[in-house]
A = this chain, B = another copy of it.
């Protein structure tokens, strides 16, 4: 049974705080194993990657077959039914359109002194995208990671995707093709992350690695961070639905189950000011859990981490939501625009009953890689910005240096950094005489 809380009871604050701080993921400590794998790949390159792939994926590769050939990609992609191809293409077009609007502008301005200041954005040179194999191999994630990189202007985009026993997912390859991925390697695990970060004889190193993965992949990303950039380490998925009277309980139940079915550690929470709706949603969830294909997973998630919170009003709902800082927030209320103004921390907001969260997973346009585990308090979903970096620009003139140089000298002296001050003073002396 999920937790049921009432915001008007005396012990609510303690219960809500417990809900907030509940740890939903207990990652196995694989750090030593991962450290050894990375060391091995750095030392032996291709040979290590090939050996580890044989051991973990039961797949014999050579330096020549680490990468899918264009012919192999074409043959696999040809297996994809037309309806799925069209759906992927529609999704890709919408994701591309949304992300193209994120491209930031360069800036440059001239001060009265003639000094010019500004900044310029440039893309990361090469990016690598981890795509999980097996059950959680999602073509939609390929689009969500690869399209922002290509929109940012990343010249070289490589994918690593393990193919246990040699089984590849044609939809993943098609998504990569549609997104404009340049290289696809049939490797996975910590060895694939190490190969991307440090390079091997056959795989050139990249500058940034993104994409989801299991505990080994997450540990490897943490370890190579600094050598390359990484995206966030994502935790289990979450949804918070805020609903008011008159909403369709069945739709809300399905939206909540669409998070719960991802993972036994996923979390679905309903906050409502209508006790009747709370009961109806709970009943609808129980009903769907009788028949849902992934009922074992969704049922465990709902039982262990699900929650229904009744509140006196929607202001309270918004305040609680901001403390949760949910990854996905659905506002199934009569005036979602007004309520959204009260939301300060959320990865993505879905406004109104016609916007099921699943739309955002596939075809809405915004990215589905979003901050989990309350990290929407301080971080954002994946975007074009993750594949760009900013270079600041400054050009002084003699007039500008005369105006602000002495202050720099004063501060340099106060920080006991003599050469800093002298580098300014030498120029000022030149100007003065």
Chain A interfacial positions (CB closer than 8 Å to B): 83-84, 86-88, 90-91, 94, 98, 101-102, 104, 107, 109, 116-117, 119, 122, 124-125, 135, 138-140, 171, 207-208, 226, 228-229, 233, 248, 250-251, 254-255, 257-258, 260-262, 288, 292-294, 298, 336-337, 340, 343-367, 370-371, 373, 375-381, 383, 385, 389-398, 400-401, 404-408, 410-412, 414-424, 426-427, 430
Could you say how many copies of this chain the assembly holds?
Answer: 2
Measured between beta carbons, the chain B residues less than 8 angstroms from A86 are 407
Instruction: Name A390's contact: one of B340, B362, B381 (CB within 8 Å).
Output: B381
B394–A389 touching, CB < 8 Å: no
Q: Min CB distance, A239 to chain B, in Å?
A: 11
Measured between beta carbons, the chain B residues less than 8 angstroms from A421 are 358
A355–B87 touching, CB < 8 Å: no
B424–A359 touching, CB < 8 Å: yes
Q: Min CB distance, A377 to chain B, in Å?
A: 4
Q: Which of A340, A347, A419, A430 has the most CB of B within 10 A?
A: A419
Measured between beta carbons, the chain B residues less than 8 angstroms from A422 are 254, 257-258, 288
A292–B419 touching, CB < 8 Å: yes
Instruction: Name A363's contact: one of B254, B355, B398, B407 (CB within 8 Å).
Output: B407
Instruction: Name A417's contact: one of B119, B261, B346 (CB within 8 Å).
Output: B261
Q: Min CB distance, A85 to chain B, in Å?
A: 10
Q: A101-B107, A226-B233 are in contact. Are A424 and B292 (CB under 8 A)?
A: no
Assembled-state Cα–Cα distance A221/B373 (Å): 18
Measured between beta carbons, the chain B residues less than 8 angstroms from A415 are 138-140
Measured between beta carbons, the chain B residues less than 8 angstroms from A352 are 395-396
A376–B359 touching, CB < 8 Å: no
Q: A354-B396, A366-B394 are in contact. Are A411 and B140 (CB under 8 A)?
A: yes
**Which residue from chain B places its CB closest to the CB of A171 in the assembled complex?**
B414
A117–B356 touching, CB < 8 Å: no
Measured between beta carbons, the chain B residues less than 8 angstroms from A293 are 416, 418
- Pick 12 A–B contacts, CB within 8 A, sort by A: A117-B365, A119-B366, A125-B377, A251-B427, A288-B419, A288-B422, A292-B418, A345-B391, A351-B394, A359-B401, A379-B389, A380-B389
Measured between beta carbons, the chain B residues less than 8 angstroms from A346 are 391
Measured between beta carbons, the chain B residues less than 8 angstroms from A294 are 416-419
Q: A258-B419, A258-B420, A351-B116 are in contact. Are A90 and B404 (CB under 8 A)?
A: yes
Assembled-state Cα–Cα distance A361/B406 (Å): 13
Instruction: Name A380's contact: one of B228, B366, B370, B390 (CB within 8 Å).
Output: B390
Q: Min CB distance, A266 to chain B, in Å?
A: 11
Measured between beta carbons, the chain B residues less than 8 angstroms from A104 are 104
Measured between beta carbons, the chain B residues less than 8 angstroms from A344 are 122, 125
